[in-house]
Structure 1
């Protein structure tokens, strides 16, 4: 059916998109004039009734002369367009076949899609074909999603359930439907949670939704160690886990050794995706499986075996200097035999040289601190405040010869350098004062893991003597929700300062 009949659809069924590339001619101008005159007559005839109707409405709604607003007619007309032209295929001029289904459609509506606009511009062999077979290059596209995407060309917007958003996003990306892509992004923004975060992340990468990708990555950094389940661990790919573990934004609950333990369970689930069991059994089953593997490989570190090599880039992101400084953690690392010994030597070296540098450095350093942490040097640790009640916990001896107590009291987070009743370590016995760079972050998460509150000190200089304390964050008049996740990054400052940039 020709261009004239396609344009006639606009007057019978309501305003349609301008046909790309259509030339204006006498026929089109004549149709426009006729339509304008008819609309003028209708308005002229309706004017007295409208005035009378307005007087009637002052007495109350629902009178015999009350008229429906024009926008209601427009809405009904849009529905009629969808039902008549899309669902019933009336006056169709092109047939689309895909995924075992046929749609009798109209070129003028299809040209709203960049995909079909290019196809009908003469660049493709399908330009003048009455029946077009579509090949689906993306396995995420299914018949229902294609039906919804094509239907959006006839009614402007569609309802996108979260469970269907990826299929519709894939279809809209293929058809180049920018408004539908944007609508999918809005749905994803408000439905990111444990069950959707990984699939949303991978889709955002595939279809170029950078904002959604960033949002999902932030969700994982906030929740990977706070509400991590075996199902979530199974869904996180090697590349994604590498990005998460490498980041200093990771909300570590505990210390770096806890990051290693989480990675060990993740690797086991990647190797044994059919594992099922209670959460309490995951770590014992993980240790048992790797113990058998160690016996089978005659003690070869697992990451040097054929099965383990794929995981090397992920485990290399661990900060071993902040693991081997604790005797218990170092013993577990050696017993597990996952990590090659050569990876641990720099950590032991740093653990020894750190106190020596602290012992020999006596002058006071400048108080200005310019730090970014792109190379993963900071110590990551954290804890939780479960209720509005005074509490404290201890981060012991990092690699800085410190015993630092973290207190929550009177809506303040306080650091205190304690003086334990025990023999001091090498560094503490010879130097009363310590200086490190620190950054404290607080986060409150809702039940879906989305942040409802954040506060960040940025990197600052911390310099304390024994029994001295410092209030590092004030939460008075802040809209916080418990539990509060408290995370800190510490950087040891060498004598000449620290500026990796």
Structure 2
């Protein structure tokens, strides 16, 4: 037994030595993949992180200017740089490779014609040639973009564009839109337009209304993608507030007070000038007429209260209003006397130009049922939101309705339905669309038009609809004129 015990004890010793040798080898491995915590448990010292090559180049060559072979002077400041790095810029690459006199100079003074460029922007632009990544603050992105475009730094231009698209808000959107147009960033331009179309009516802001130019506002109001809240009358009201702020930019007050002060200003202006002219016909108002021309007045005058306000304000030309009244009268007669069943198909271009625009905000989840106000040619449309379904119902008998209701066996309606939720900066976080559809409904028939995925549903939820209740107007054929007889 003693001999066996001795052999067992003696056999254990080499195993302990082997484990010790493995631990020693592990300590000596310079490229060990184990984590710092594993290394500490094994008794190894923690690895020191070496300074990156990019950081060393930036600090030593760019910031310290060591071994500089060229000095760039601009806006009263000098940068001690290196031609080999500057050649990454299309601007300097052309300068150094051609027969320009600057190609042999080691001191170059740059003229900066763009007022958006300052020394801080040039510092970032030059520094980007010496490092892998650049941190761009949204408040500085336009000046950096201007410098990047002048120096033809494609990578920095792209990074500026991505920063702009990610940080669009009510405070930045107008500046970004203008810069995108100036420096040719089409994708940023489109993103800004999309943001404005979604937020102009859903998240109104005094500061934003002040910043919107006439040209930009015209694009928004004329767009079929404008996210309208409530009804077309609210588009008119928003434009009235916007025009007041353009005329009185010094006005300083809350959004709640804005409409009251705007109405008072226009009323006072009429009294002071003793003018019977509509405001858009005056010298002061003419420049805004092109924007107001895109309001779909046929859906403003279809409500008595709204029609009275339009007449009282005397902003829109009376001749223009008269033409709209005539148009709506004939549409009503066609519905009543020709038994117009409504559109049978959708001409997308006509639909986007002439459809009724309306919307609704659902503050929280629940059951909702509503109708949009205004004359609807006998089609009383009830909209219901319940259990994540959007339902349209043609109401004829089951619920009371203000106005006459068509009792035709079937009526058609063309529509487009969109829903969206936004974050605190107005960025879309979820959206759905039912596309363009024609719905044919019998009396009191209801139809599910959209089924929402609860995983994508977030509140408040904004619903925007476009509708056509009547068939497109057909122009009468020209009457044949009698041929004059020969004498």
Which TM-score band applies after superposition, normalised by the shorter structure? 0.7 to 0.9
Q: Any idea what the Cα deviations from partners look like across 1:173-206, whole Å, max 9, x if unmatched?
A: 1111111111112212221111111111111111
Q: Which moved more, 1:60-69 or 1:276-285?
A: 60-69
1:359 touches 1:430 (CA, 8 Å); kept in 2? no
Aligned to 2:255: 279
Shift in CA distance, 418/56, structure 1 to aligned 2, threshold 3 Å: closer
Indicate the SS of the match to 2:114.
coil
1:70-85 to structure 2, matched below 5 A, reads 72=50, 75=52, 77-85=53-61
Among 238, 242, 246, the residue aligned to 1:266: 242
Kindly state the Cα deviation for residue 433 of structure 1 after the two structures are TM-superposed. 3.5
Q: Distance in 2 between matches of 1:376 and 1:370?
A: 10
Q: Which moved more, 1:388-397 or 1:102-111?
A: 388-397
Q: Distance in 2 between matches of 1:346 and 1:129?
A: 70
Q: Which moved more, 1:464-473 or 1:140-149?
A: 464-473
Among 447, 454, 463, the residue aligned to 1:470: 447
> Does 1:237 pair with 2:213?
yes
Among 355, 363, 381, the residue aligned to 2:332: 355
> Does 1:403 pair with 2:383?
no
Q: Distance in 2 between matches of 1:366 and 1:330?
A: 26
* Pairwise CA RMSD: 2.7
Aligned to 2:91: 115
Kindly state the Cα deviation for residue 402 of structure 1 after the two structures are TM-superposed. 2.3
> Does 1:317 pair with 2:294?
yes
Q: Distance in 2 between matches of 1:56 and 1:331?
A: 82
Shift in CA distance, 433/348, structure 1 to aligned 2, threshold 3 Å: farther
Shift in CA distance, 366/249, structure 1 to aligned 2, threshold 3 Å: closer
Q: Distance in 1 between matches of 2:33 and 2:26?
A: 10
1:365 touches 1:497 (CA, 8 Å); kept in 2? no
Kindly state the Cα deviation for residue 478 of structure 1 after the two structures are TM-superposed. 4.3
Q: Distance in 2 between matches of 1:208 and 1:256?
A: 34
**Greater radius of gyration (CA):** 2
Among 34, 39, 49, the residue aligned to 1:60: 39
Indicate the SS of the match to 2:459.
coil
Structure 1 residue ranges (4+ consecutive) displaced by more than 6 angstroms after TM superposition:
55-59, 62-69, 363-366, 495-498
TM score, norm. by length of structure 1: 0.82
Q: Which moved more, 1:283-292 or 1:357-366?
A: 357-366
Kindly state the Cα deviation for residue 350 of structure 1 after the two structures are TM-superposed. 2.1
Kindly state the Cα deviation for residue 220 of structure 1 after the two structures are TM-superposed. 0.8
Kindly state the Cα deviation for residue 68 of structure 1 after the two structures are TM-superposed. 6.2
Aligned to 2:482: none
Among 116, 121, 139, the residue aligned to 1:145: 121
Aligned to 1:454: 431
Kindly state the Cα deviation for residue 154 of structure 1 after the two structures are TM-superposed. 1.2
Aligned to 1:217: 193
Q: Distance in 2 between matches of 1:293 and 1:123?
A: 64
Aligned to 1:384: 361
1:156-195 to structure 2, matched below 5 A, reads 156-195=132-171
TM score, norm. by length of structure 2: 0.84
Q: Distance in 1 between matches of 2:29 and 2:108?
A: 51
Structure 2 gaps of 5+ residues are 1-24, 476-487
Shift in CA distance, 223/373, structure 1 to aligned 2, threshold 3 Å: farther
Q: Distance in 2 between matches of 1:489 and 1:287?
A: 29
1:149 touches 1:171 (CA, 8 Å); kept in 2? yes
Among 59, 62, 68, the residue aligned to 1:92: 68
> Does 1:445 pair with 2:427?
no
Q: Which moved more, 1:304-313 or 1:486-495?
A: 486-495
1:160 touches 1:184 (CA, 8 Å); kept in 2? yes
Indicate the SS of the match to 1:454.
strand
Q: Distance in 2 between matches of 1:142 and 1:374?
A: 48
1:322 touches 1:347 (CA, 8 Å); kept in 2? no
Q: Distance in 1 between matches of 2:233 and 2:343?
A: 32
Kindly state the Cα deviation for residue 417 of structure 1 after the two structures are TM-superposed. 2.1
2:415 touches 2:468 (CA, 8 Å); kept in 1? yes
Structure 1 gaps of 5+ residues are 1-48
Aligned to 2:276: 299
Aligned to 1:340: 317
Q: Which moved more, 1:409-418 or 1:315-324?
A: 409-418
Aligned to 1:371: 348
2:343 touches 2:471 (CA, 8 Å); kept in 1? no
Kindly state the Cα deviation for residue 169 of structure 1 after the two structures are TM-superposed. 1.0
1:359 touches 1:431 (CA, 8 Å); kept in 2? no
Q: Which moved more, 1:167-176 or 1:360-369?
A: 360-369
Q: Which moved more, 1:394-403 or 1:335-344?
A: 394-403
Q: Distance in 1 between matches of 2:272 and 2:301?
A: 26
Q: Any idea what the Cα deviations from partners look like across 1:447-495, whole Å, max 9, x if unmatched?
A: 2111111111111112234422221111144411011111100124427
2:142 touches 2:179 (CA, 8 Å); kept in 1? yes
Q: Distance in 2 between matches of 1:276 and 1:496?
A: 46
Q: Distance in 2 between matches of 1:55 and 1:265?
A: 68
1:53 touches 1:66 (CA, 8 Å); kept in 2? no
Q: Any idea what the Cα deviations from partners look like across 1:205-236, whole Å, max 9, x if unmatched?
A: 11112111111111111111111110010111
Kindly state the Cα deviation for residue 406 of structure 1 after the two structures are TM-superposed. 1.1
1:319 touches 1:379 (CA, 8 Å); kept in 2? yes
